[in-house]
Amino acid sequence: MNNKAIATPGRTKDILAKAGFSFKKSLGQNFLVDVNILKNMLCHAGISENTAAIEIGPGIGALTEQLALHAGSVTAFEIDQRLVPILEEELSSFENATIINEDILKADIDQVVRELARDHEEVRVVANLPYYITTPILMRLLMDRLPFQSITVMIQKEVAERMAASPGTKSYGSLSIAVQYYTEASIPMTVPKSVFMPQPNVDSAVLHLEKRAEPPVDVQDEDFFFEIVRASFKQRRKTLINNLGSFFKGSLEKSEIRERMEGSGIDPGRRGESLSMEEFAKLADVFHKVK
Whether 30 has a binding-site annotation, put simply, is: yes
- Least Cα distance to 30 among 135, 118, 154 occurs for 154
Do 152 and 139 contact (CB within 8 A), yes or no? Answer: no
The region that residue 154 occupies, defined by phi over 0 for left and psi between -120 and 50 for alpha, beta otherwise, is beta
Confirm or deny that 78 is annotated as ligand binding: yes
Amino acid, res. 285: D
Letter string b/e over residues 58-87, b meaning 16 or more CB atoms within 10 A of that residue's CB: bbbbbbbbbbbebbbbbbbbbbbeebeebb
Output the CA torsion sign for 88, 90, 95, 98: negative
Whether residue 144 is annotated as binding a ligand: the answer is no
Q: Is 222 annotated as contributing to ligand binding?
A: no
Is residue 128 annotated as involved in ligand binding?
Answer: yes
Report CA-CA distances (Å) from 66 to 86, 176, 185, 230: 16, 30, 23, 39
28 known member of a binding site: no
Give 144: exposed, middle or buried? Use CB within 10 Å, 0-12, 13-18, 19+: exposed
Residue ranges of the annotated binding site are 30, 32, 57, 78, 103, 128
Residue ranges of the annotated binding site for S-adenosyl-L-methionine are 30, 32, 57, 78, 103, 128
